[in-house]
């Protein structure tokens, strides 16, 4: 059966009044954008939801596109029937028979907006429910906890029926919470952190550190591919690529002991903050998860995080690896993340990185590295920026080196 229409419901409904209007307006802009390749679609807004008349558009691609819209709580594929009892009964039965898995229990809930329809909603519950019951052997009614709820809306001009409620991405609409810079590695975690930040309504740009020639072109391509995947949830994403080789090798030349990772990560954060400020972004988003590695113990997070003053948003901090992997699979970044890849952070690893770095010691070491500030300036200036547009790779937009 091919749905005629979709019923869209918005999320985070704690919002009231003006905020709610603005919220719905922003979600609708995004919905119209993701469905723009279906010109015959019509939108009919009603309080708290929107009816989308598909006008012949196929259900699968529209549903897949809608699942990428933040702020959309759920949606239902719905079927039209004329204002006639027999047609409503017949449509209800065909919908029940077309369910992927036959339920043991169901109930019918009828809402009659059109008061001139001859049967009221209570009568209709029986008339539609009874008709389905006698046609499907073994099916029972359960009004308290049915496996399937068949909803029938008797409207002025037609009847709408639906059974499925499909979860949307939820969260806040794109761009309603400000702008942030995602530190994007090629690993599993940071793309998920970026997606969670985007779902909270943050407009994201991303920054990636590479240590060419110690890390390969392919490693960079992989990050570009991850950025493409994330851009599928907004429209486009700016990706700043930083050559980190000189910073990393110079620190390593001056110091090789157990605080090396702390020093390198602090340099990375400093560069990221400078780029964020230059681009007008007000937070850094990273993929740290408490206790995962030596640099993610509480003392390490403290010493590393202190080097920046922008808010550090770390949405995975309290999540288990399995939960993170589950999300990575859902958002489509997992297969890209597990491609073979050498991370610039895994270069020059000391035999036992400190899990309990001392801030004073780290700061003293940094002071003794008189080359550090200049190299950080140089890395910031040399950032290469590419605009990642969903579905295509656009030209380089600027290079601050020239």
Q: Which stretch binds Mg ion (CB under 5 A): 97-105, 150-158, 257-265, 341-349?
A: 341-349
Is 209 marked as binding a ligand?
A: yes
Pick what 331 binds: ligand ATP, Mg ion, none; C-beta below 5 to 8 Å, kind-dependent: none
Is there binding between residue 11 and Mg ion (CB under 5 A)?
A: no
Determine the Cα–Cα distance for residues 203 and 205; give it in Å rounded to an integer: 7
Q: What's phi and psi for 148, nearest 5 deg?
A: -135, 135
Is there binding between residue 189 and ligand ATP (CB under 6 A)?
A: yes
Tell me the CA distances in angstroms from 69 to 28, 234, 283, one per residue in order.
9, 8, 23
Q: Which two tokens stand for residue 312?
A: 């550090």
Q: Which two tokens stand for residue 108?
A: 């019918």
Who's near 233: CB < 8 A, 6+ residues apart? 68, 70, 169, 174, 195, 198, 199, 331
Is there binding between residue 354 and ligand ATP (CB under 6 A)?
A: no
Q: How many CB atoms sit inside 10 A of residue 311's CB?
A: 10
Is 208 marked as binding a ligand?
A: yes
Is there binding between residue 292 and ligand ATP (CB under 6 A)?
A: yes
Determine contact, residues 248/359, Cβ cutoff 8 Å. no
DSSP structure class, residue 402: -
- Token look-up 């030349």 returns 253
Is there binding between residue 345 and ligand ATP (CB under 6 A)?
A: yes
- From candidates 129, 287, 315, 357, binder to ligand ATP by CB under 6 A: 287
Determine the Cα–Cα distance for residues 165 and 364; give it in Å rounded to an integer: 58
Nearer to Mg ion by C-beta: 174 or 295? 295
- From candidates 185, 211, 243, 333, binder to Mg ion by CB under 5 A: 185
Is 296 marked as binding a ligand?
A: yes
Bridge pairing between strands 5-10 and 72-81:
antiparallel
Pick what 383 binds: ligand ATP, Mg ion, none; C-beta below 5 to 8 Å, kind-dependent: none
Determine the Cα–Cα distance for residues 178 and 389; give it in Å rounded to an integer: 20
Q: Which stretch binds ligand ATP (CB under 6 A): 16-24, 92-100, 280-288, 364-372?
A: 280-288
Is there binding between residue 190 and ligand ATP (CB under 6 A)?
A: yes
Nearer to Mg ion by C-beta: 92 or 181? 181
- From candidates 30, 286, 300, 383, binder to ligand ATP by CB under 6 A: 286
Size of the site for Mg ion (CB under 5 A): 3
Is there binding between residue 230 and ligand ATP (CB under 6 A)?
A: no
Please name the helix (run of DSSP H) or strand (run of DSSP E) that holds residue 252, with its range, or none.
helix 245-254
Binding residues: 183-184, 208-209, 265, 287, 296
Q: Which residues bind ligand ATP (CB under 6 A)?
A: 183-185, 187-190, 207-209, 286-288, 292-293, 295, 343-345
Q: Which residues are annotated as a binding site for ATP?
A: 183-184, 208-209, 265, 287, 296
């Amino acid at each position: 059966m091919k749905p005629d229409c979709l019923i869209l419901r918005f999320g985070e409904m704690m919002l009231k009044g003006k905020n709610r209007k603005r919220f719905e307006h922003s979600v609708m802009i995004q919905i119209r954008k993701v469905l723009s390749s279906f010109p015959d679609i019509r939108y009919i807004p009603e309080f708290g939801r929107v009816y989308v008349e598909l006008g012949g558009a196929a259900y699968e691609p529209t549903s897949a596109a809608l699942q990428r819209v933040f702020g959309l709580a759920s949606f239902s594929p719905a079927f039209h029937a004329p204002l006639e009892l027999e047609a409503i009964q017949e449509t209800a039965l065909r919908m029940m028979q077309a369910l992927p898995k036959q339920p043991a229990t169901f109930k019918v809930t009828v809402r009659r907006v059109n008061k001139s329809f001859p049967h009221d909603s209570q009568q209709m519950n029986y008339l539609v429910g009874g008709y389905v019951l006698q046609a499907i052997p073994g099916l029972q009614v359960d009004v308290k906890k049915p496996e399937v709820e068949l909803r029938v809306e008797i409207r002025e001009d037609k009847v709408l029926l639906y059974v499925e409620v499909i979860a949307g991405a939820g969260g806040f609409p794109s761009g309603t919470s400000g702008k942030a810079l995602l530190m994007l590695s090629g690993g599993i975690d940071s793309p998920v952190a970026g997606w969670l930040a985007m779902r909270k309504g943050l407009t994201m740009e991303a920054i990636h550190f590479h240590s060419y020639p110690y890390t390969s072109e392919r490693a960079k391509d992989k990050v570009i591919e991850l950025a493409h995947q994330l851009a599928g949830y907004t429209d486009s994403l700016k990706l700043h690529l930083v050559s980190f080789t000189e910073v990393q090798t110079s620190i390593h030349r001056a110091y090789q002991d157990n605080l090396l990772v702390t020093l390198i990560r602090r340099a990375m954060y400093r560069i990221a903050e400078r780029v964020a400020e230059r681009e007008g972004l007000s937070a850094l988003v990273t993929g740290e998860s408490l206790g995962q590695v030596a640099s993610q113990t509480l003392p390490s997070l403290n010493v590393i995080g202190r080097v920046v003053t922008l808010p550090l948003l770390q949405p995975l901090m309290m999540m288990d690896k399995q939960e993170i992997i589950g999300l990575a699979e859902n958002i489509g970044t997992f297969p890209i993340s597990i491609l073979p890849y050498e991370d610039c952070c895994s270069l020059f690893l000391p035999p036992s990185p400190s899990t309990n770095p001392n801030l004073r010691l780290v700061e003293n070491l940094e002071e003794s590295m008189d080359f550090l500030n200049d190299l950080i300036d140089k890395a910031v200036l040399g950032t290469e920026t590419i605009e990642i547009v969903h579905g295509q790779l656009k030209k380089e937009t600027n290079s601050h080196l020239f």
